Copies of this chain bind each other. A is one copy, B any other.
Amino acid sequence: MNTTVKQAVVLTSGGLDSTTCLAIARDQGYRCHTLAFDYGQKHKAELDAGIRISRALGAGDHKIIRIDLASIGGSALTDPKIAVPDHPTRGIPVTYVPARNTVFLSLALGWAEVLGACDIFIGVNAVDYSGYPDCRPAFIEAFQDLANLATKAGVEGERFRIHAPLLHLSKADIIRTGVRLGLDYGMTVSCYSADEEGRACGVCDACRLRREGFREAEIPDPTRYRPGSPFA
């Protein structure tokens, strides 16, 4: 373990939020290792985006862990029988993947422990959080408590910290932060129904929040929309 350079594991989905989170971690001086999941999601273009982004932002290592959340089902993002909605919905949306962030943070924790890194960054957001329960501050705090009980490193006196630097930012503020740090958001894929080239539908919840963010930030939207999208 190199004690002179702070190391962090950054969850990297290929989307706007996690890419901003990675840029923030890098800006804070961390040597970042990025972690993505091939979890049976319909929108695999995000995995390709994650690889490109990690390379562009100088991540130390980029790992993709395969985990079959589709076998559990219960979400529009993993179950072919549940459609991704093309309009805003009330309450917790059908794109909620049961226990997803708990699973992702658990694996990030395991990898962090092996790397000797005590810092984990996740780009969750409680403002535009779409009603996902595992994007709330209380969830992040509870996971940090768990991390220090769950691990050999925690028992031996290391303190894991779960960083969620976007937690209280609006989408517009996230975008302003990323642009200030030099990010090209054209690399990122947020759409739940992106095509194979990562081009966005423009109408799902994720696209809608992203579009509104660029508009509110008064920054031109660099998103590539697919043919047939109202914004293509």
Please list the residues of chain A having a beta carbon within 8 angstroms of any beta carbon in chain B. 63, 65-69, 71-74, 92, 96-103, 106-107, 109-111, 113-114, 133-134, 136, 138-139, 142-143, 145-147, 149-152, 154-156
Of A66, A97, A134, A154, the most chain B CB neighbours within 10 A belong to: A134
Main secondary structure of the interface of A (DSSP, over half): helix
Chain B CB within 10 A, most for which of A96, A107, A111, A136: A107
A-B contact pairs, 12 of them (CB 8 A): A66-B68, A92-B152, A92-B156, A98-B151, A99-B106, A102-B150, A103-B103, A134-B150, A138-B149, A139-B150, A142-B149, A142-B150
Q: Give the chain B neighbours of A98 by CB distance below 8 A.
A: 109-111, 113-114, 151-152
- A104–B20 alpha-carbon span in the complex (Å): 29
B-side contacts of A147, CB under 8 Å: 102
- Indicate if the CB atoms of B150 and A111 lie closer than 8 Å: no
Residues of B within 8 A of A154 (CB): 133
A68 proximity list for chain B (CB < 8 A):
65-67
Instruction: Quote the shortest CB–CB distance from A143 to chain B (angstroms).
Output: 6
Q: Which residues of B are found within 8 Å of A110, using beta-carbon distances?
A: 69, 72, 74, 97-100, 102-103
Other-chain residue from B102, B103, B150 in contact with A101 (beta carbon distance below 8 A): B150
Nearest B residue (CB) for A145: B142
**Pair A133/B114 contact, Cβ less than 8 Å:** no
Cβ–Cβ contact A113 & B139, under 8 A: no
Which 7 A-B pairs have CB atoms at the shortest separation, nearest pair first? Answer: A99-B110, A74-B114, A98-B110, A98-B113, A102-B106, A103-B106, A99-B109
Cα–Cα, bound, A136→B134 (Å)? 24
B65-A65 in contact (CB<8A): no
**Minimum Cβ distance to chain B for residue A64 (Å):** 9
Bound complex: CA of A152 vs CA of B101, how far in Å?
12
Q: Tell me which residues across on chain B come within 8 A of A150, comparing CB atoms.
A: 99, 101-102, 133-134, 139, 142
Given contacts A65-B72, A102-B147, 17 further A-B contacts (CB under 8 A): A65-B71, A66-B67, A73-B114, A97-B110, A98-B109, A98-B111, A98-B114, A98-B152, A99-B107, A99-B151, A102-B106, A103-B106, A133-B154, A133-B155, A134-B150, A142-B146, A143-B146
